[in-house]
């Protein structure tokens, strides 16, 4: 089961014992279902939980007879497309007019009379998401969208989303294949909206996924930094050893002042040791910066020999 299906399954369990909230959720499901007219009502969904919720609304609220069909989607393995249709046109007309719409209405718009208060707004938007919403797996990317059939309905949806006082939402819009997409890509806005709609578990999954990604990114940056430092140190060490070998092959290490010769010999014998560790081997011991100073002197001498 996909993450989006899990989200819809959680939302479909929301309490609708309060009549006004049941009406609002049902209205959201119907209005954004792509087929809501005076003589035809149909919903298509991949989520069985949504199909069952829709059928429950039609039966409990209106006593309507529905026809259910399930077909396997041709382009997706093991994904069923559920189609739920109000069988009688008389029932469709009754439901359509119940929500305050008339056959002569030029275009569908949200009838705010069906949304009594803030809790009903949440229920309405939950119905809209169940009808035309989707959300990506947070392990991949952050994206929640509503695929709306009509432009005016997308504008109404944006306005309602922006009015939610509990969330600071900034929906974006675009047109895709003739549909109007209202979407979010900010993880915090997505988690706030899902919590508001009634899916706190899904919101927590997104927050956990984000925390994991952040921790993984910090770890990767630390590892990359350490690898870069190791590579840098290895290159510097090889350069110093080449300089020591060049001096030994020409002038001989005995030509170096004693303080430099001892450091050169220790470096050759212990190429893996840090500067601080090399300094501890000297008698008397010297600091890391002292060792580094002497090695730089050795490098300068090697460079002078190459120029001769």
Kindly state the tokens that stand for 222.
């630390």
Task: Tell me the range of 143-152, 275-284, 299-308 where mean pLDDT is highest.
Answer: 143-152
What's residue 256's pLDDT? 87
Residue 129 has pLDDT above 70, yes or no: yes
Beta-bridge partners for 68:
84
What's residue 200's pLDDT? 94
| pLDDT single digits (tens) 179-225 | 999 999 999 999 999 999 999 999 999 998 888 878 887 888 888 88
Element (H, E) at 117: none
Identify the band that residue 278 occupies on the pLDDT scale cut at 50, 70 and 90. confident
What's residue 163's pLDDT? 94
Question: For residue 253, what is the DSSP state?
Answer: G
What's residue 72's pLDDT? 73
What's residue 94's pLDDT? 95
Q: By three-state DSSP, how is residue 286 classified? A: coil
What's residue 134's pLDDT? 96
| pLDDT single digits (tens) 254-265 | 888 889 888 888
What's residue 76's pLDDT? 57
Residue 162 has pLDDT above 70, yes or no: yes
Whether the upstream peptide bond of residue 284 has omega within 30° of 0, thus cis, is yes
Mean pLDDT of all residues in 143-164: 96
Percentage of the chain modeled with pLDDT above 70: 97
Phi-psi region of 305 (alpha: psi -120 to 50; beta: other; left: phi over 0): alpha
Kindly state the tokens that stand for 78.
């093991």
Distance from the Cα of residue 127 to its chain's centroid: 23
Spatial distance between the Cα atoms of 121 and 164, rounded to a whole number of angstroms: 8
The neighbour count for residue 254, using CB atoms within 10 Å, is: 9
Whether this prediction's pTM lies above 0.85 is answered by no
What's residue 74's pLDDT? 56
DSSP string of 95-158? Answer: HHHHTT--TT-SS----GGG--SHHHHHHHHHHHHHHHEEE--TTT---EEEEESSHHHHHHHH
Spatial distance between the Cα atoms of 40 and 91, rounded to a whole number of angstroms: 9
| pLDDT single digits (tens) 34-72 | 999 999 999 999 999 999 999 999 999 999 999 999 887
């Amino acid at each position: 089961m996909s993450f989006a299906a899990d989200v819809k399954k959680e939302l479909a369990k929301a309490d609708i014992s309060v009549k006004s909230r049941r009406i609002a959720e049902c209205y959201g499901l119907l209005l954004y279902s792509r087929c809501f007219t005076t003589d035809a009502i149909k919903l298509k969904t991949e989520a069985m939980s949504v199909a069952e919720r829709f059928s429950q609304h039609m039966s409990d609220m209106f006593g309507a007879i529905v026809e259910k069909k399930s077909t396997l989607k041709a382009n997706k393995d093991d994904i069923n497309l559920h189609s739920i249709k109000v069988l009688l046109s008389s029932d469709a007309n009754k439901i359509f007019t119940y929500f305050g719409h008339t056959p002569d209405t030029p275009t569908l718009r949200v009838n705010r009379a069906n949304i009594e208060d803030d809790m009903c707004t949440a229920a309405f938007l939950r119905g809209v998401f169940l009808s035309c919403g989707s959300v990506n797996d947070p392990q991949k990317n952050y994206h929640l969208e509503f695929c709306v059939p009509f432009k005016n309905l997308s504008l109404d949806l944006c306005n309602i989303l922006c009015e939610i006082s509990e969330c600071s939402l900034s929906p974006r819009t675009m047109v895709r294949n003739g549909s109007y997409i209202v979407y979010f890509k900010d993880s915090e806005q997505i988690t706030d909206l899902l919590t508001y709609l009634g899916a706190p578990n899904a919101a927590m999954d997104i927050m956990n996924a984000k925390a994991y990604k952040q921790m993984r990114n910090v770890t990767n940056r630390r590892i990359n930094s350490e690898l870069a430092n190791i590579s840098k140190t290895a290159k510097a060490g090889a350069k110093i050893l080449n300089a020591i070998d060049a001096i030994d092959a020409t002038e001989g290490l005995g030509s170096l002042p004693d303080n430099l010769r001892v450091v050169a010999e220790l470096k050759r014998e212990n190429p893996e040791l840090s500067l601080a560790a090399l300094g501890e081997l000297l008698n008397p011991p010297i600091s890391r910066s002292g060792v580094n100073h002497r090695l730089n002197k050795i490098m300068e001498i090697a460079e002078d020999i190459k120029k001769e």
